Structure 1
Amino acid sequence: MTGSNRHYVLAAGGTGGHLLPAFALATELERRGHHVALITDARGEQIPGRPDFLTTHVLPAGRFGKNPLKWFTGARAVLQGRKMALRLYESFAPSAVVGFGGYPSLPALLASSSAGIPSVLHEQNAVLGRVNRLLAGRVQAIATAYPEIERLKDKHRAKVALVGNPVRAPVLGLREEEFPPLGEEGLLRVLVTGGSQGARILSEVVPDGLAMLPPAVRQRLQVTQQCRAEDLDAVRERYRTHDIPAELGTYFEDMATRLGDAHLFIGRAGASTIAELTAVGRPAILIPLPIATDDHQAANTREMTRAGGARMIRQERFGAKELAKQIMALADNPEGLVKAAHAAWNCGRPDAVGDLADLVEGFGGADMMDVIRVGANNARGASQGVRAGQNAARERGK
């Protein structure tokens, strides 16, 4: 508890990748005694997991694709959203506005900039997103999830504070548990996911890749795989043909427990996935989504693969033989998997949500109504806010 209740506005795009970190920060700020509001779009309003206390404001955001004919419509929506955000700020009087990327954060941050309200960006990926690139020059701090961020201009690096990506409490609770025992005769549990709806290429490649492992390894396999509903029967038949025990489903409610039990993960390289793997300390074979904007999933794998906690396979090279090869490079013996698990664990940033909250609290240190609205004060607040967040992060690490 900080001793003074303040108001904060969080703005996030309409996908779980942007909104789940916002939900985590909202929960932490509310726990510290602050009042929090959310700005998003119609899609974001439907994302599950929003805390009950979090008041949501749906604003038009506009989207800017490759078709110039649609830019006018997008710009008009952004201006309308900015006007609505300004009205919200007049009544809610936030001490700071925090943007998590995605188009809905654009009008919210443009409004905070014009109103002289300190602003913070949080970037979940290892490549600064399009909207965050547009806003980087207007904000007072940029919180990052990785030590190396592509598409970030040198002149903005002084604003950066490394905090990480917030992780779900059930997953974070597994961080201090030991890596599951894995003897020469024990089961080798493999968890395979491809996002909320699964991924067809994983369904096509993984069963055949696991079948190509040496018999001593293959006969110990126990697989849990998330698949698309239309792929379930075909994948089940593949595993039956290969005589590999596998539990398949389109969704697993107890995914945190399954991650805790797993010895090896195979799947995509989204920011939330990497954050959870490194929080728990699980070795991984990562296949970045090739259509991800700016190839950011491949960039997300950099820290974990360099540390030895994961192997990355580009989708164009992702075949059964290559998968088996990379699994054996990571898991040729129990000691190899344990070493890789430790390397992944060392990349984790379990204090991400607390460090992000510390950074945000560095702005608006005065009472709620004494919001910084003068340009000169904003510059001073930026340096104080970044330093406060960085100092708090160091203290939490002691």
Structure 2
Amino acid sequence: MTRERHFVLAAGGTGGHMVPAAALAAELARRGHRVALVSDERGVRFPGLFEGVQTHVLPAGRLTGGPIGWIKAGRNILAGRAMARELYRTFKPEAVIGFGGYPALPALLAAFKAGIPTAIHEQNAVLGRVNRLVARKVDAVATSYAEVDRLDAKYADKVRLVGNPVREAVLALRDRPYPVIEEDGIFRVLVTGGSQGASVLSKVVPDGLSMLPVAFRRRLQVTHQARIEDIDNARAKYAELSIAAELATYLPDMPEQLAWAHLVIARAGASTIAELTAAGRPAILVPLPSATDDHQTANAEEITQAGGARTIRQDQFTPVELAKQMQKLGLDPVALTNAAARARDCGRPDAARDLADLVETLGGPVRASEIGVPLPTGADGKPAYA
């Protein structure tokens, strides 16, 4: 076992940031290290992710709202930076790792000021705002995709492709076969909008499933994660259409839901894509059009091009289009099984290990050859950044 070292992980309070941070925390703890988390109120209360981990809430401001908003954000960032420096004085981290989101910013600024080595992890196929702000100063940039938009090629020497870490329970699904699709047997559909839910799925999916051939529709067993304001209407709609469905605002057993799902209908958030590719589950993806820099559309490109998913733009996501895509996939078990295998081929199951390897190198020269993580390049062999 390596000697105990201290690391601080800083992440915004959404699932897309918190899940990979939790996976890294678990891997570092297995290696005998101590970890502290800094986040916002949402992040430190995320269910089941950071049990037993020292947590801290730092004030952080969103750089929006014009001059008045910027002034308020600046004050919060400075206050958060001061609190982070006090934490570093007592906890003495050997490195600080940011996972994006505004709460990560003051923690990284404090690390720069204190001369502590830093790294950032980008979950999406487009470099996020906070990560763009700090990319120049951090010691390492870990990516989840071989091609990352908004990542300047001049940072190529410190970029490492590691993938997006997922929970152990999801990663374990790689060792379980894709569920057998029996003729006239149950066909299980998982509908999820990610940690924030998605109203469009609640509005479109029930009507889309109702347009399937009667014999197919009767085989359906749906688990649907819905927003609290949508769940009653969606439940009533499924009942009206005589489609077997269970609905919840939160699915604490997501790994088990993925294990039995034949098809997933979902947004294209970073954690969703990482879990689909880790488990090997085919999907119909509806990227969130308002996502910053349209990063969900970029996230969906790799798995879609590989044949593991079909992507439908939200303005084209109608009951008719959903039913058409469902029939193309669901009525051909061979095609669906092949799509599951192609989704699995896109997975990077060693992401937590490779990210932990990278983190452990901080404080000295970081070279890809030392940690076995390939540099992402384009077809021409050059860094694949925009």
Shared fold (TM-score greater than 0.5)? yes
Change (3 A) 1:238 1:356: same
Change (3 A) 1:196 1:37: closer
Q: Deviations over 1:216-272 (max 9, x none)?
A: 432322222222344344333433343322222333333221211110000111111
Change (3 A) 1:242 1:141: same
Q: Which runs of 4+ in 1 moved over 4 A?
A: none
In structure 1, what residue type is equivalent to 2:287? P
The aligned runs of 1:188-203 (5 Å cut-off) are 188-196=187-195, 198-203=197-202
Mapped contact 2:187–2:219 kept (Cα < 8 A): yes
Correspondence for 1:389 among 359, 371, 376: 371
Change (3 A) 1:136 1:181: same
SS at match of 1:285: strand
The aligned runs of 1:305-324 (5 Å cut-off) are 305-324=304-323
In structure 1, what residue type is equivalent to 2:271? S
Task: State the distance in 2 between where 1:140 and 1:20 align.
Answer: 22
Mapped contact 2:161–2:374 kept (Cα < 8 A): no
Mapped contact 1:360–1:389 kept (Cα < 8 A): no
Q: Which residue of 2 aligns with 1:329?
A: 328
Change (3 A) 1:116 1:250: closer
Point out the more displaced range, 71-80 or 50-59.
50-59
Mapped contact 1:22–1:100 kept (Cα < 8 A): yes
Mapped contact 1:161–1:390 kept (Cα < 8 A): no
Change (3 A) 1:149 1:281: same
Q: Which residue of 1 aligns with 2:33?
A: 34
Point out the more displaced range, 59-68 or 133-142.
59-68
Identical aligned pairs, as a percentage? 60
Structure 1 residue 168: Cα displacement: 1.6
Change (3 A) 1:39 1:254: closer
Work out whether 1:93 is the aligned partner of 2:92. yes
Q: Deviations over 1:269-312 (max 9, x none)?
A: 11111111111111000111122111111111011101000011
Task: State the distance in 2 between where 1:146 and 1:273 align.
Answer: 14
Work out whether 1:181 is the aligned partner of 2:180. yes
Task: State the distance in 2 between where 1:120 and 1:388 align.
Answer: 16
Q: Deviations over 1:308-356 (max 9, x none)?
A: 0001111111100111122233334100000000000111112111111
Change (3 A) 1:126 1:339: same
Mapped contact 1:193–1:266 kept (Cα < 8 A): yes
Question: How many residues are matched?
Answer: 375
Question: Aligned-pair RMSD on alpha carbons?
Answer: 2.0
Q: Which residue of 2 aligns with 1:343?
A: 342
Q: Deviations over 1:117-171 (max 9, x none)?
A: 2111011111110000000000111111111111101101222111111112222
Runs of 5+ in structure 2 lacking a partner?
376-386
Runs of 5+ in structure 1 lacking a partner?
365-380, 394-398
Q: Which residue of 2 aligns with 1:247?
A: 246
SS at match of 2:102: coil
Change (3 A) 1:257 1:41: closer
Q: Which residue of 2 aligns with 1:360?
A: 359
Task: State the distance in 2 between where 1:53 and 1:110 align.
Answer: 26
Q: Which residue of 2 aligns with 1:298?
A: 297
Q: Which residue of 2 aligns with 1:372?
A: none
Point out the more displaced range, 79-88 or 341-350.
79-88
Structure 1 residue 53: Cα displacement: 3.2
Q: Which residue of 2 aligns with 1:25?
A: 24
In structure 2, what residue type is equivalent to 1:292? A
Q: Deviations over 1:167-188 (max 9, x none)?
A: 1222222111111111332221
Q: TM-score, normalised by structure 2?
A: 0.91
SS at match of 2:42: helix
SS at match of 1:324: helix
Change (3 A) 1:258 1:42: closer
Q: Which residue of 1 aligns with 2:159?
A: 160
Task: State the distance in 1 between where 2:193 and 2:78 align.
Answer: 37
Task: State the distance in 1 between where 2:88 and 2:221 align.
Answer: 53
Mapped contact 1:85–1:107 kept (Cα < 8 A): yes
Work out whether 1:77 is the aligned partner of 2:76. yes
Change (3 A) 1:229 1:86: closer
Change (3 A) 1:313 1:211: same
Task: State the distance in 2 between where 1:51 and 1:246 align.
Answer: 31
In structure 2, what residue type is equivalent to 1:86? R
Mapped contact 1:288–1:298 kept (Cα < 8 A): yes
Mapped contact 1:239–1:246 kept (Cα < 8 A): yes
Q: Which residue of 2 aligns with 1:213?
A: 212
Q: Deviations over 1:23-43 (max 9, x none)?
A: 221121111111222222333
Change (3 A) 1:116 1:336: same
Q: Which residue of 2 aligns with 1:370?
A: none
Task: State the distance in 2 between where 1:342 and 1:82 align.
Answer: 45
